[in-house]
């Protein structure tokens, strides 16, 4: 599932490609056809992200709200785009570029009031100025394990399954520690890791948990299979013991019992 770095990355890219232009909106698959007509051929004012939600704001107040969910994907094409292939829910065609959306959890037209309701349900988004103190409050007010709290979008917006595993590993934290038992020092480390990894993710458009000095190369050159320290791994790179995986917050969480105790 795309995490917060990816939605912010897409928002920037799509804003650059399409904002300030009249955009034709269609639904080759058909499921979004009626709603697409409400915004089609209007000017796209801006594209923004909150947590894992994307908002395409059109002149006149209509907003296309997209949540990619687990299977949603965007593809970019020149303009005019090629003939539609597959289940394209939404196609946006600008003068210079076009984008196709397939498999989203949410793709609908809303107004500013509903957008505000969506944003109000989210916790602070570290990539949109979300404050450390507010996340600290949300975490320490709960007896839930920190591994579950990090996935809860009302606690902190934009963290998904990969960030969760990699952040907890870097901070050396046992995922089962209740939020209310977290020390200020541990939280400081957690926040530092979270900010660093999400900022790197936004810059490169993908999650790179390792540092350049650890990888022995610039981050842009880190191979796909060497980006993570624990996520999807079988052996800990640091202590060489097996990586454990358990269900926490309904998703599989990878962690090293030796390094995270
Ligand atoms: Zn280890």
Evaluate whether 4-120 and 126-255 have a shared fold.
Answer: no
pLDDT digits (tens, 9 = 90+) for 207-235: 999 999 999 999 999 999 999 999 999 99
Q: Of the listed 6, 24, 52, 227, which one is catalytic?
A: 52
Give yes or no: 214 in active site: no
pLDDT band at 248 (very low <50, low <70, confident <90, very high): confident
Q: Which CATH number fits domain 126-255: 1.10.287.3510, 1.25.40.10, 1.10.8.50, 3.40.190.80?
A: 1.10.8.50
Range 5-34 average pLDDT: 97
**pLDDT given for residue 249 in this prediction:** 84
- Strands (E) across 61-203 are located at 63-67, 73-78, 88-93, 97-102, 106-110
Give yes or no: 104 in active site: no
Cα 146 to middle of ligand 1, angstroms: 19
Cα 2 to middle of ligand 1, angstroms: 26
pLDDT at 1 over 90: no
Give the largest Cα separation in the chain, rounded.
58
CA distance 18 to 52: 20
Give yes or no: 185 in active site: no
Cα 131 to middle of ligand 1, angstroms: 31
Cα 64 to middle of ligand 1, angstroms: 44
Cα 235 to middle of ligand 1, angstroms: 8
**pLDDT given for residue 113 in this prediction:** 98
Using alpha carbons only, how large is the chain's radius of gyration in Å? 20
State how far Cα 87 lies from the chain centre: 23
CA distance 208 to 86: 30
pLDDT digits (tens, 9 = 90+) for 197-209: 999 999 999 999 9
Lowest mean pLDDT among 103-112, 218-227, 243-252: 243-252
pLDDT at 143 over 80: yes
pLDDT digits (tens, 9 = 90+) for 147-191: 999 999 999 999 999 999 999 999 999 999 999 999 999 999 999
What CATH number does the domain located at 4-120 have?
A: 3.20.190.10
Instruction: Write down the mean pLDDT value for the chain.
Output: 96
**pLDDT given for residue 90 in this prediction:** 98
pLDDT digits (tens, 9 = 90+) for 60-85: 999 999 999 999 999 999 999 999 99
Domain segments of the chain as ranges: 4-120, 126-255
């Amino acid at each position: 599932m795309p995490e917060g770095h990816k939605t912010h990355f897409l928002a920037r890219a799509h804003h650059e490609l399409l904002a300030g232009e009249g955009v034709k909106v269609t639904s080759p698959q058909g499921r979004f056809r009626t709603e697409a007509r409400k915004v089609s051929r209007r000017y796209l004012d801006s594209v923004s992200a909150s947590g894992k939600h994307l908002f395409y704001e059109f002149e006149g107040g209509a907003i296309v709200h997209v949540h990619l969910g687990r299977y949603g994907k965007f593809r970019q094409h020149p303009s005019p785009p090629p003939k539609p292939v597959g289940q394209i829910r939404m196609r946006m065609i600008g003068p210079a570029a076009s984008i196709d959306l397939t498999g989203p959890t949410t793709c609908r037209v809303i107004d500013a009031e509903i957008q505000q309701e969506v944003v109000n349900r989210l916790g602070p988004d570290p990539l949109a100025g979300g404050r450390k103190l507010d996340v600290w409050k949300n975490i320490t007010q709960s007896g839930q394990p920190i591994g579950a709290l990090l996935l809860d979008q009302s606690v902190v917006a934009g963290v998904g399954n990969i960030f969760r595993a990699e952040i907890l590993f870097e901070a050396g934290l046992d995922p089962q520690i209740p939020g209310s038992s977290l020390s200020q020092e541990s939280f400081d480390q957690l926040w530092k890791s979270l900010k660093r990894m999400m900022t790197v993710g936004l810059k490169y458009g993908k999650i790179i948990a390792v540092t350049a000095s650890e990888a022995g190369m610039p981050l842009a050159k880190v191979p796909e299979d060497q980006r993570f320290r624990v996520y999807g791994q079988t052996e800990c790179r640091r202590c060489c013991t097996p990586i454990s995986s358990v269900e926490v917050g309904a998703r599989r969480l990878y962690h090293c019992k030796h390094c995270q105790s």
